[in-house]
Amino acid sequence: MAIAKVCGIETEYGIVVRGAESNPVAASSVLINAYVSGLSRKVGWDFEDEHPANDARGFTYEEVFAPEVDTQLVNAVLTNGARYYVDHAHPEISTPECRTALEVVRWDRAAEEIVRSSMERARRLLGDGSEIVTYKNNSDGKGNSYGCHENYLMDRATPFGRIVNQITSHFVTRQVFCGAGKVGCEFPNTSSTAVPYQLSQRADFFEEEVGLETTLKRPIVNTRDEPHCDPQKYRRLHVIVGDANMAEVSTYLKVGTTSILLAMIEDDALGTDLGLANPVAAIRQISHDPTLTRTVLLRDGKKVTALELQWALLERATKYERSHGLDPVGEAVGADILAKWEIVLAGLESDRASVAHWVDWVAKQRLVDGFAARHEVKPGDAKLKALDLQYHDLRADKCLASRMGLTTLIDEADVRSAMTEPPETTRAYFRGKCLQRWPNDIVAANWDSLVFDIGRDPLRRVPMMEPLRGTAEHVSQLLDECETAAQLLARLGS
Amino acid sequence: MAERTQKQKPTTGRTEETVTDGAPVAPQGEKLKAELDDLLDEIDEVLETNAEDFVKNYVQKGGE
């Protein structure tokens, strides 16, 4: 049986400083500090169990792989269970672990609002008229890309080769409904005249089918094997191939469809016959064709469009629902994902405008085309690229996505509460609630443990190796019954 | 049109019933068009004043 698809998203935001000289690392630190300094007490990240160089294929790259994170940089864990930190030269938020795609949308939106709030606090803090501005996108249009990564809990017993073999077709074609859209092209030796508009921010940057890298020679399937939980039982599939979405339905479909297909792969219910002959070329060819009519070659020699491949995946997912149910992704959310998946494919096929409120690249294309037609602007004009950037601008008075009538799935009040409250359905609940209750007694936190200092030696590490232990159902009563962290530790017997 | 030929799915078993169910959701087409027109009307106020500089100065370091 497939296991619960615990999932989350990490987003690196684009960052610029207006009105002052600054480097992006310093600006990212100022931004995050402006937010966390307003909190009661900052709890740092604990790097004890970080192993980004472990490869799912069974080897380790410690010698050749630079540490992913500089521990000197700002790194905080928030009461909603998220991690907020400087990664390379970008501010990044990892959502807490979620149980369903709908929860991911809620905490991803909360992350956006945390970044917005950080911008406002930083502006007041700087006080000199300068401003730190952030963008929820994945490329600067000049060949530099930064990521929006998804993570999914997988059963360790599922062979990694099967995952690579069977999920790649989805990773290549799902951009038809979750591409964020891009004006121009960054693939070497391809002009923006040849590709004035494409589906995905990221497709130009993928060079390998499978591999460990995330910054060079990016692979469609990333092999980082760092489960942040019991490594005997689980793996965490680290997905680097997606775009950051402004449209909530795009995020929802991206995570929801992927979760269902990964559950199917665990149950060996997806099949091997939809494999692509050349996935690396295909991801770019599909992105570069907003008409969605170009075909790509399957391993068995058939030619299909991205939509045809998506229809085939949906058909199998629908059969899987009937034979296995969708408990691994949440029954209600899973059924809703299947329904919306079908609607979005039908809309893309025959009535593009009908999904403009769901799909970022369609919404952005209407904006760009509408502007170009009205102002008689030609492809390649900087104004069109400016529209592209401003679609993702997180300043309320500049953001274009928020003016496009995009469908929302999460109430504004639920977004706001998720800025400080953790999901109730995963171990993030225990992490978040302990940070709310006893921030002065916690010296460090990471995904799979909390470290308490209650004034007696030694420090106490509370391991959280099971992503589905520590939920509200498990521990809310226990937490309510404890006045102090010391009482909690005594009750936990640690 | 290509859109018509795409109705020929490469796989079997997708029934007529699901094709019907898959009809686009009640489109907010008119509303969307009006919103886009409104946005295009006001876009000069929203857009960065110097698009050329704005685009040129948006330079990021690679991440991940």
- pLDDT tens profile A152-174: 999 999 999 999 999 999 999 99
Across the interface, of A215, A291, A312, the residue whose CB is closest to B11 is A312
How far B48 CA lies from chain A's nearest CA (Å)?
8
| % of residues, chain A, pLDDT over 70 | 96
Closest by Cα among A158, A108, A107 to A262:
A158
**Mean pLDDT, rounded, for A47-76:** 60
Domain membership of residue B5 (yes or no) is no
Rounded to an integer, what distance in angstroms lies between the CA atom of residue A433 and that of residue A293?
50
pLDDT of residue A457: 72
- Claim to verify: residue A400 and residue A463 sit in the same structural domain: no
Least confident of A58-62, A91-95, A380-384, A389-393: A58-62
Set A46, A49, A87, A336: catalytic member: A87
pLDDT in tens, A213-244: 888 899 999 999 999 999 999 999 999 999 99
pLDDT of residue B6: 40
Output phi, psi for A142, to 5 deg. Answer: -125, 20
A87 annotated active-site: yes
Domain membership of residue A1 (yes or no) is no
pLDDT in tens, A117-150: 999 999 998 888 899 999 999 999 999 999 999 9
Is pTM beyond 0.95? Reply is no
Work out the pLDDT band at A40, boundaries 50, 70, 90: low
Residue ranges making up the domain that contains B49:
26-58
* A405·B64 Cβ contact <8 A: no
Mean pLDDT of chain A: 93
Residue ranges making up the domain that contains A447:
424-492
- Claim to verify: residue A333 and residue A265 sit in the same structural domain: yes
Residue A54 has pLDDT above 80, yes or no: no
- Claim to verify: residue A305 and residue A452 sit in the same structural domain: no
* Residue at a domain's end among A358, A385, A416: A416
* Residue pair A422/A79 in contact by the 8 Å Cβ criterion: yes
**CA A17, A20, A24, A30 torsion-angle sign:** negative
Examine the predicted complex and report whether its ipTM is higher than 0.95.
Answer: no
The distance from CA A431 to its chain's CA centroid, rounded to whole angstroms, is 20
Which of A196-200, A350-354, B23-27 is the most confident on average? A196-200
Across the interface, of B19, B28, B43, the residue whose CB is closest to A371 is B43
Residue ranges of chain B with per-residue pLDDT less than 50: 1-26
Count of structural domains within chain A: 2
Selected residue with higher pLDDT from A87 and A22: A87
- Claim to verify: residue A412 and residue A437 sit in the same structural domain: no
pLDDT in tens, A70-83: 345 788 999 999 99
Domain membership of residue A2 (yes or no) is no
- Claim to verify: residue A333 and residue A455 sit in the same structural domain: no
Residue A44 has pLDDT above 90, yes or no: no
Rounded to an integer, what distance in angstroms lies between the CA atom of residue A315 and that of residue A317?
5
Q: Is B18 on the interface with A (CB under 8 A)?
A: yes
Domain membership of residue B12 (yes or no) is no
For an interface test with A, give the residue of B55, B57, B59 to mutate (most A CBs within 10 A): B55
Domain membership of residue A91 (yes or no) is yes
Nearest residue in chain A measured CA to CA from B5: A293
- Claim to verify: residue A396 and residue A455 sit in the same structural domain: no
Output phi, psi for A43, to 5 deg. Answer: -105, 130
pLDDT of residue A58: 64
Q: Is A352 on the interface with B (CB under 8 A)?
A: no
pLDDT in tens, A419-457: 999 999 999 999 999 999 999 999 999 999 999 999 877
Domain membership of residue A260 (yes or no) is yes
* A131-135 vs A75-77, strand pairing mode: unpaired
Domain membership of residue B7 (yes or no) is no
Residue A68 has pLDDT above 50, yes or no: no
- Claim to verify: residue A101 and residue A198 sit in the same structural domain: yes
Count of structural domains within chain B: 1
Domain membership of residue B18 (yes or no) is no
Domain membership of residue B13 (yes or no) is no
Output phi, psi for A123, to 5 deg. Answer: -60, -40
User: What are the structure tokens assigned to A474, written together?
Assistant: 């498990």
Contact residues on chain B for A214, CB-CB shorter than 8 A: 64
Q: Is B61 on the interface with A (CB under 8 A)?
A: yes
Rounded to an integer, what distance in angstroms lies between the CA atom of residue A179 and that of residue A177?
6
Across the interface, of A89, A367, A382, the residue whose CB is closest to B51 is A382
How far B41 CA lies from chain A's nearest CA (Å)?
10
Contact residues on chain B for A132, CB-CB shorter than 8 A: none
Closest by Cα among A462, A447, A473, A461 to A97:
A447
pLDDT of residue A213: 86
* Residue pair A267/A256 in contact by the 8 Å Cβ criterion: no
Q: Is A273 on the interface with B (CB under 8 A)?
A: no
Residue A91 has pLDDT above 90, yes or no: yes
Q: Is B29 on the interface with A (CB under 8 A)?
A: yes
- Claim to verify: residue A218 and residue A339 sit in the same structural domain: yes
Domain membership of residue A269 (yes or no) is yes
- Claim to verify: residue A434 and residue A391 sit in the same structural domain: no
Q: Is B15 on the interface with A (CB under 8 A)?
A: no
Buried b or exposed e, range A360-378, using 16+ CB within 10 angstroms: bbbbbbbbbebbbeeeebe
Q: Is B1 on the interface with A (CB under 8 A)?
A: no
